[in-house]
Amino acid sequence: MKGDYQDLVDEISALLGAPATLENRDFRLIAFGAHDSDSDGGELVLDPVRTRSILTRQSTAAVRSWFEGFGIARASGPVRIPAAPDAGVLRGRICLPVRYRGIVQGYVWLLDQEPSPGAGALAQAMEVAQRIGILLAEEARAGADLSREFLAVLTAGRGWQQDMAVSALRVALGPGAEGPHAVVCVGPWPGEAPASVPGAAAVCVVPWRGARADPGGSGSSGSSGGSGADGGPRPPGQALAVLLRLRSSDALAPALTAVSRLLPPASAGSGGSGTTAGVSDPVRALAELPGAWQQAVAAARAAGARPRLGPVAQWSAIGPYRMLASLAEEALDDPAARALLGPAHPELARTAEVFLDCAGQAGRAAAALGIHRQTLYYRLARVEQLTGLDLDEGEDRLLLHMSLKASRLHRRT
């Protein structure tokens, strides 16, 4: 579906001789046309508002309110909006409302320029915008209509209940049931499911337990990783589940692009503290969706545990977290690692993890930590004293490595 939007946006750009941008009604970027360089300076002339929209794939609430003040949500034809340098809008805009049966689905934006597009060209562009409106409405309706069936597949127990849920989803999808799909988990997710997700066959909100927050940033969660602040069981949060259609089993790029648009801008550099997303391997049979959902959840949790994997992680790329995430929802509390993972020894825990990540090679580990090799040996001796483990023994190393990695999955609330 992404390609369809891009083709239609390019068609409008060609009709009006200006780069067009398509956003949904929540002002989230869907597609944008190529921007030509400025004839004078040879550089792109983009004001702050347009630059932010393209780079972060959404506009701020203040920008949305300002543009909506020109009546774009009620308009049925092109709306010209003047430049406002004080608001960061250095060039005027032409807004083409994208509607379906009178309901706004999104907006096509163009930078106004000289000579300004004529009425005939704008009328043709509005016809294309109507075609975009049909696609957006179909996606929104499909996702909303199938949320119950999709949720049932992801949460039904094994056996006949799951078989019935899969059959109901297959009937609801119709011809769309055939072909590869990927499942996406975005969490933690506040509020309701979005009205539309480009390329989605279904969306729903699912209860889940995220990983425990780690205010100290030490990589340790202590021995109470499954507890709330008062020591009791941590209440489950919720995640967004998305069923994405794929053009082929080896083409996950469109899925990753769609997922990145669901994340708030702050998550791009938030490491383990913000919203993250996981993407499953492609599946062809709907009966495989529960397993794919578990993959997506594991990948989202891994992205929160290791910033280098996120904020969008593919299950196939999360390494040992593929196994660790499936072992237990709650933190693994092994007595040998309990003292090391407490708040008093964050540096020792980090040293042990880096040493084990480097396959026990002292030179590599010391270089990665930026310390002298003798300092490394001293710290490792302290680790052995705290844990009672012998780091010359393979099984002891495996136990400690698993404990350290598993603790990362329980950092967030």
CATH number at residue 356: 1.10.10.2840
Cα 347 to chain centroid, rounded: 31
pLDDT at 123: 94
Same domain for 120 and 78: yes
Token output for 107: 């907006």
Domain boundary among 91, 112, 137: 137
Assign residue 199 a region (left: φ > 0; alpha: ψ between -120 and 50; beta: otherwise): left
- How, if at all, do strands 312-314 and 276-279 pair? parallel
Domain that holds residue 380: 335-408
> Residue 375: enclosing H or E segment and its boundaries?
helix 373-387
Overall average pLDDT of the 53-80 stretch: 77
Q: Which residue has the higher pLDDT, 223 or 85?
A: 85
CATH number at residue 96: 3.30.450.40
Q: What is the DSSP string of 189-200?
A: --SSPPS--TTE
Token output for 191: 């509020």
Residue 246 placed within a domain: yes
Overall average pLDDT of the 275-286 stretch: 92
Same domain for 323 and 340: no
Overall average pLDDT of the 311-324 stretch: 87
Assign residue 352 a region (left: φ > 0; alpha: ψ between -120 and 50; beta: otherwise): alpha
Residue 253 placed within a domain: yes
Distance CA 78, CA 74 (A): 11
Answer yes or no: pTM beyond 0.75.
no
Distance CA 382, CA 405 (A): 19
Residues in CB range of 138: below 8 A, 6 or more apart: none
Helix axes 147-155, 289-305, angle to 10 degrees: 80
Residues in CB range of 154: below 8 A, 6 or more apart: 204, 206, 241, 289, 290, 293
Beta bridge partners of 23: 29, 107
Same domain for 90 and 36: yes
Same domain for 393 and 244: no
Residue in the block written with tokens 């994405």: 244
Q: Which residue has the higher pLDDT, 296 or 136?
A: 296
Beta bridge partners of 241: 185, 204
Task: Judge residue 359's burial from the number of C-beta atoms within 10 Å of its C-beta, 0-12 exposed, 13-18 middle, 19 or more buried.
Answer: exposed
pLDDT-wise least confident of 127-141, 152-166, 216-230: 216-230
Overall average pLDDT of the 230-245 stretch: 70
Beta bridge partners of 100: 103
Residue 204 placed within a domain: yes
Residue 206 placed within a domain: yes
Residue in the block written with tokens 């398509």: 22
Cis ω for the linkage preceding 188 (within 30 of 0): yes
Overall average pLDDT of the 321-348 stretch: 77
Residue 392 placed within a domain: yes
| Confidence bin at 266 (pLDDT 50/70/90) | low
Distance CA 309, CA 247 (A): 25
How much is the mean pLDDT over the chain?
Answer: 79
User: C-alpha angle 208/345/356, rounded to 5°?
Assistant: 75
pLDDT at 398: 85
Q: Which residue has the higher pLDDT, 279 or 305?
A: 279
pLDDT-wise least confident of 102-116, 131-145, 376-390: 131-145
Same domain for 160 and 82: no
Residue 100 placed within a domain: yes
Same domain for 373 and 351: yes
Residues in CB range of 189: below 8 A, 6 or more apart: 205, 237, 238, 239, 240, 275
Same domain for 148 and 133: no
Domain boundary among 327, 353, 371: 327
Domain total in the chain: 3
Same domain for 245 and 390: no
Distance CA 36, CA 313 (A): 33
Same domain for 307 and 160: yes
Residue 341 placed within a domain: yes
pLDDT at 55: 45
pLDDT at 247: 74
Same domain for 119 and 56: yes
- How, if at all, do strands 237-245 and 200-208 pair? antiparallel
Same domain for 241 and 194: yes
pLDDT-wise least confident of 98-112, 136-150, 225-239, 315-329: 225-239
Residue 413 placed within a domain: no
Domain boundary among 282, 298, 327: 327
Q: Which residue has the higher pLDDT, 247 or 35?
A: 247
Q: Which residue has the higher pLDDT, 170 or 219?
A: 170
* 58 pLDDT above the threshold of 70: no
Q: Which residue has the higher pLDDT, 64 or 151?
A: 151
Same domain for 222 and 152: yes
pLDDT at 3: 54
* 281 pLDDT above the threshold of 80: yes
Distance CA 221, CA 406 (A): 10
- The residue count for the chain: 413
